[in-house]
Each structure stands twice: as structure tokens, then as C-alpha cells.
Amino acid sequence: MGHLSAVVQSGILYVSFLRARELYRRLACPGGVRTYPARRLACTEISIVMSTDHSQQKFETRCVHVGVDKDDTFNSCITPIYPTSTFRFEALGKTKGYDYTRSGNPTRRALEESLASLEGGIDCRTTCTGMSASTATMHLFKPGDHIIAGHDIYGGTFRLFSVPFTEFGLKFSFVNMQDVENVRRAITPQTKCIWIETPSNPLLNLVDIEAVVKVAQSKGILTIADNTFMSPYFQRPLELGVDVVVHSTTKYLNGHSDVVGGAVITKKKEHAERVGYIVNALGLANSPFDAWLVLRGVKTLGPRMEAHQRGAMAVAQMLKQHPLVEKVYYPGLPDHPHHELAKRQMKGFGGMLSFDVKGGGAKAEKVMTTTKLYAMAESLGGVESLIEHPETMSHASMTLEARRGAGITDKTLRVSVGIEHPDDLIADLKQALEA
């Protein structure tokens, strides 16, 4: 034990106990040397991770470990928050990788590394809201370009496409993408993008991702998928051929209803560079603290999604049998029209469902205002259960004609099933229906 030794093995630098003790003295006691009984560190070996390849690790492991080991000074087990707005230059033109937080921040970059790993992309840029993530992707196109999107997408996305970006010169077609032939027929020489939202919000219709990608690739068209409802735990569009994935990190990725944010994940260098430029130039990036909150939430993504799905399946099965429910929209039910597709392209059915109440809008309102565990609120993906009325809430920004064309009526309710015990969620919804 009288000699110093260092052996590099599998990317890990192992330092003998005497060297480790000396390092500890220098870090902890820069003003003086303390002595420690040898027995306190005897047979102890400290490993310092220099670089780790996470690509072969399981999903849940990557949720916990990617983007974490950033603190070489104190070896924090949690990614630090760097709330600074600016960074000191070491010399003219020389930094330690960051100069201004709008352009880049270590905490935000840690989250971006994590999400890129989970989705299987080469890069990610996180933004201040989910809508800003969608906004960033639309800046990949120029006036005159044509984009195809589903007719039953999230109301905020419909508004973004049909008003601001239409006014900027982009052209949009909203089609029923459940039939890939509708997509094929909508393509024009100006079509540059197909926007995929699956399952759709709020009626949980599915789009055959691989079929749409095949059509797009045959025409040289970019594909972008909103994967918010499923999260990368249950669905990974990049693996099915999609070019770009967007998320509202507000939802399942964060999972605690205490932050808003978005993400754009890419798998090709040219898209990654362009999105990075856009997010910086337009000032769309999220704050370090918001990035840290999402990174914290991602750690429990796997077990949370399993809990969400367990509750959603139980609630959907109850609603399916309830005499006061007209229709249930949940891809986990065997009679859902896209159940087989769901089993093929998803690894689970998720925590979102919708249902139509017998008795119309008045009865639907009664149900929402009578629940005790389900908060009547917009958003989704948090640990608590939420219930909302798409007609007047999440999809109010769509035109009445568009809502009816998508199948949304005043009797439709959307539920984000939390992680509470399914028995309690079922009992509460039953009493609300029967009140």
C-alpha cells in the first residue's frame, strides 16, 4: 500500500486508497493537512467515472443516470442548477463551453442529453413551453411550404398552424390520418412536412407511424411526431423512421405539474444544427431551474408511466361497463379500432382516456364538478388525476366545424389518470356519474 497506482479499466479510472486520501485532503482541507487513521479507509477503493457509455443500458437506468454526472468539484449525485445568466471568458474567444444562458446552459444541456438518449436521437433542444417546441419546428420551413397534419390534433397546435403560421405564409391541410391514403392524396409538390400526433388529443385515435413514414420518405418529405401523450417510455417514433420528435415536457416527462416546457429531439445532424440555431436565435430556450425540474421528473418516468397505465386501464374498463357512459376512447381496450396497431407500435397504452357521457353537455359538466379526486383542469401527465371538457377547454381554440369534424362534442370528457390507487379513482368517477 506504499505506492501509488492508477489503472484504466473499461473507461473507469481506479485510484488506490492512498491517492484517494490525498485527493480528499486537497479538496476538503486546502488550508492544511489532516491525518486519518488508516483503518478508516483500509480496503477502500474510490472510482472516478471519466466517461460512461449509456447506450447499452435499459431505459429506466438511463432515466436515472444520463445527464447527471456533471459536478467534478464535489461529486454531487444530482445535476446542479446553474442559474447564472452569463459565463466568464477565460480569454478573448475562449470559454469553458458556455457564454450566455440563452445560447446554452449546463443544466439545460444535461436535460437535453437525457431526452436525446431516451428518444434515441443524436441531439435535443429544450424550450420554454410545449408550443415553443412546435414553433421551433415550423421555422424549419419557409413561406409557400405545405404541411399535412391530423384533423384531430391538440387545439393549441391547430391554432398555431391555422392562424399565426398560415399568416406567415405556410400552408396546412388537416386530414384524417387514420387512413394513410388520405395522407397520400393530400401531398402536393409543395409538401415539406407531415405532422404526426398519435395517439391524438383528445380522442386517442392512432396513426400508423411506419406507414406514414414510408409515404413521406418516398417523396422526400420530413416527418415530425408529437410524442407527448406516450412519452418515450411507451413509444419512440424515431425508431419507427420519424425525423423529429417534439414533446411538451410539462406533461409526462416532468410529471409533477410544476413546470412548463418543451423539447425538440432530432436524429440527423442537419436538423439538429438548424433547430439549435432557431431555439437560440428566437430565444425559445427554457430556464435552468425549469430544466432541472424536468430532469428530476424524468428519473421516475418508467414507474410513473406504469402506474398511469394501470389506473387508466382500470378506469376505462369500468367506464366501458357503466350505463351512463356512451363511448370510451382508450387504445388499451380490445374493441378500440386501433388496438392492434397500438400493440404493434407502442409498448403500452398510456394514462390518457376520453369518454362520452349520456345526457350531453349538462351531464358532462355535472360529472366534472362532482368529482373529488379528479381536478377539473387542463394539462395532463401529472401524478394527480385531472378531468377536462375539450369542447370549452383544451380544444376551444379550434373552430366548431373542426371540433365536430374531429368527433369532439359537448358530451366528451378527457381524463388524465394520475398515480392514485385505481380503486379510489374508480369509486370517485362512479359517484360523479351517478350523482
Active-site option among 236, 251, 304, 411: 251
Task: Render pLDDT for 283-313 as a digit per residue (tens, 0 to 9).
Answer: 999 999 999 999 999 999 999 999 999 999 9
Going by the DSSP 8-state scheme, the letter that residue 49 receives in this structure is E
Name the pTM for this structure: 0.86
CATH class of the domain whose range is 301-434: alpha beta
Task: Render pLDDT for 200-214 as a digit per residue (tens, 0 to 9).
Answer: 999 999 999 999 999
Active site residue 226: yes
CA dist list (Å): 191 to 117, 278, 406: 30, 21, 23
Do 352 and 223 form a contact (C-beta atoms < 8 A)?
A: no
Domain positions in the chain are 6-51, 106-298, 301-434
User: Residue written as cell 415553443?
Assistant: 132
Rounded Cα distance, 161 and 152, in Å: 13
Active site residue 251: yes
Active site residue 192: no
Active site residue 154: yes
What's the pLDDT score for residue 308? Answer: 98
What's the pLDDT score for residue 26? Answer: 37
Active-site option among 62, 82, 123, 154: 154
Per DSSP (E only), the strands in 107-170 are 123-127, 146-150
Confidence of residue 247 (pLDDT cuts 50, 70, 90): very high
Nearest to 222 by CA among 231, 212, 232, 233: 212
Nearest to 324 by CA among 355, 354, 352, 351: 355
> Does the pLDDT of residue 168 top 80, yes or no?
yes
> Does the pLDDT of residue 38 top 50, yes or no?
no
Active-site option among 70, 102, 296, 320: 102
Give the other-Cβ count within 10 Å of 233's Cβ. Answer: 25
Q: What is the CATH number of domain 106-298?
A: 3.40.640.10
Q: 299 phi and psi, to 5 degrees? A: -55, -35
Active-site option among 226, 243, 356, 410: 226
Rounded Cα distance, 139 and 147, in Å: 12
Determine the straight-line distance between the first and last CA of the chain, rounded to whole angstroms: 76
Q: 389 phi and psi, to 5 degrees? A: -110, 95
Do 120 and 239 form a contact (C-beta atoms < 8 A)?
A: yes
Containing 194, the helix (H) or strand (E) segment is strand 191-197
Equal CATH topology for 106-298 and 301-434: no
Higher-pLDDT residue of 203, 47: 203
